[in-house]
Amino acid sequence: MLFEALHDPAVEDRVAIAFPARSLTYGQLRGAAGRLGHALDGCARVAVVAESRIETCVAMVAAAEAGIAAVPVNPRSGETELGHIVADADPDAVLAADGQELPAALAGRRRVPVTLDGGPDRNFGPGHLDDELPALIVYTSGTTGPPKGAVLPRRAIASNLDALAQAWAWTERDVVAHALPLFHVHGLVVGILGPLRRGGTAMHLGRFSPEAVGEALNGAATMLFGVPTMYRRLAEACERSPDLASALGRARLLVSGSAALPAIEHERLLRLCGRRVVERYGMTETLMNTAIRADGEPAPGTVGPPLAGIDVRIVDEDGRTIEVSDDETIGELHVRGPNLFLGYLNRPEATAAAVRDGWFATGDIVTRTPAGAIRIVGRRATDLIKSGGYKIGAGEIEVCLREHPAVEDAAVTGEPDDDLGERVVAWVVRRGDDVTAQDLIDHVASMLAPHKRPREVRFLAELPRNELGKVQKRRLVAG
């Protein structure tokens, strides 16, 4: 059973989900989910229009309780992308809030409105459902082709949320605040389903703002989930507002994910509010793999050791396991455990390429510290640069650039070079115009090995990022 609290009369009046305009207790959530679940009788797969609203959460819980696979879709996706997802997933119905406008790609499908009505329904519930039954089909970003639907079983969600609870001492007393989108695993699985599995409260802020975060942490919230761009804005706001800094300092846990939080922001937040931010690492296909523990040693720049029950290994380009833990030797991270997906929907060849002998090849290039923590260096497809006979991880150079006081943001790519094979190119957002390209090249050369210095620096007004703050490097091309 994914959500025992839904079936516990003792917590019927506890707030399960809170949005700015509406909240639902566990009893009310059970009633609304039960009413919707009965309307889905006969469905095997449903699409959920995953706007940041309480109806999205009700739809997800209803599908999970009924044993139906839910496909969260971003209604703001491009027409081509959304059309591909709908055709590939072929849902039996579309769940959306009553009166919510549907994108054209969904308009021809059977629609089931999501309402918040209904009292506690003691007869609605799954009883026993197979742990391998698909619970979610979440589509990847499609950076190497059309998006692929990662099929996540109930087993992966339950085991992963329990492992996170162990690492973060996460209990029913916690109230998790966030403003993350609900069509990715960060906001949906960890940020909404996680609190519900614990029997606590998921508090969605609707839209992110430092003011909304401060209000939540001055109220009932005990944990904050965010992405680096949010924490950077919080740090900037804390410089101006001691009250916000005090609110952040009261949080039991500040968690950042989806991209690396620069060391300079770690230190700034620690100085301002007296709390360290912990990082974790996950993927759509695996959910969370590693995490800094609530009781662990702070390790800015790393994403912690593997979660309980999850095995990791680092392999070189020849597929040999790298045994050293020197925080220097890079290789691709492979993951094995109950957190793994079942495969890509309708893509057996892609599944076979990604999972071999039970190990999922993440495509992420990492190092391992002597303490066993994983440091993400970059993606194999975009962040492994082969220059002058060296293998260089873009992430290490990006961290170095962001530590320069005149750098607001930075990304690093490799471009073809007749002499070096690939040359290191830095894309930089400056604070003002006082720093030059040569200044930044010299800065990297003074902190890292000479072969890691950028051969070229290009200045931008901003870096292209997706909803979770990840840099879209394929859009960084010389123009």
> Which tens digits make up the pLDDT trace of 163-211?
999 999 999 999 999 999 999 999 999 999 999 999 999 999 999 999 9
> Which tens digits make up the pLDDT trace of 293-340?
999 887 888 999 999 999 999 999 888 999 999 988 889 999 999 999
**What is the model's pLDDT at position 432?**
82
Q: Please say whether the beta carbons of 360 and 452 come within 8 A.
A: no
**What is the model's pLDDT at position 325?**
92
**What is the model's pLDDT at position 287?**
97
Estimate to the nearest angstrom the gap between the alpha carbon of 386 and the chain centroid. Answer: 28
Distance CA 137, CA 153 (A): 9
> Which tens digits make up the pLDDT trace of 15-61?
999 999 999 999 999 999 999 999 999 999 999 999 999 999 999 99
User: Binning pLDDT at 50, 70 and 90, where does residue 128 land?
Assistant: confident
Buried-state track 160-174, b at ≥16 Cβ within 10 A, e below 16: bbbbbbebbebeeeb
Nearby residues of 324 by Cβ (< 8 Å), 6 or more positions away: 368
**What is the model's pLDDT at position 123?**
59
Expressed in angstroms, the distance from the first to the final Cα of the chain is 53
Evaluate if residue 125 carries a pLDDT over 80.
no
**What is the model's pLDDT at position 56?**
97
**What is the model's pLDDT at position 144?**
54
Distance CA 96, CA 55 (A): 7
Distance CA 287, CA 289 (A): 7
Q: Please say whether the beta carbons of 426 and 439 come within 8 A.
A: no
Tokens matching residue 145: 């082709």
Distance CA 394, CA 331 (A): 13
Tokens matching residue 353: 């390429």
Q: Please say whether the beta carbons of 308 and 301 come within 8 A.
A: no
Beta bridge partners of 411: 427
Tokens matching residue 233: 């804005």
Evaluate if residue 145 carries a pLDDT over 70.
no
Evaluate if residue 121 carries a pLDDT over 70.
no
> Which tens digits make up the pLDDT trace of 371-426?
999 998 877 766 778 786 666 778 778 888 988 989 988 889 888 887 777 889 99
Buried-state track 67-84, b at ≥16 Cβ within 10 A, e below 16: bbbbbbbbbebeeebbeb
**What is the model's pLDDT at position 421?**
77
Distance CA 176, CA 219 (A): 12
Distance CA 325, CA 319 (A): 17
Distance CA 22, CA 53 (A): 9
**Type of residue found at 343:** G
> Which tens digits make up the pLDDT trace of 67-114?
999 999 988 887 888 899 999 999 999 999 988 888 888 988 999 999
**What is the model's pLDDT at position 385?**
80
Superfamily of segment(s) 4-192: ANL, N-terminal domain (3.40.50.12780)
Evaluate if residue 136 carries a pLDDT over 90.
yes
Distance CA 454, CA 425 (A): 5
Q: Please say whether the beta carbons of 363 and 380 come within 8 A.
A: yes
Q: Please say whether the beta carbons of 175 and 220 come within 8 A.
A: yes
**What is the model's pLDDT at position 472?**
81
- What average pLDDT does the chain have? 90
What is the three-class DSSP state of 218? Answer: helix
**Type of residue found at 273:** C
Distance CA 293, CA 165 (A): 10
Evaluate if residue 120 carries a pLDDT over 80.
no
Beta bridge partners of 390: 387
343 backbone φψ class: left, alpha, beta (φ>0; ψ -120 to 50): left
**What is the model's pLDDT at position 124?**
62
φ, ψ dihedrals at 452, nearest 5°: -90, -5
For the chain, domain boundaries: 4-192, 388-475
**Segment 219-237 mean pLDDT:** 94
**What is the model's pLDDT at position 301?**
85
What is the length of the chain?
479
Strands 277-283 and 287-291, bridge-based pairing? antiparallel
Considering the four listed CATH numbers 3.30.499.10, 3.30.300.30, 3.30.43.10, 3.40.1160.10, the one that applies to the domain covering 388-475 is 3.30.300.30
- Give CA torsion, residues 396, 398, 400, 402, to 10 deg: -150
- The 8-class DSSP code of residue 323 comes to -
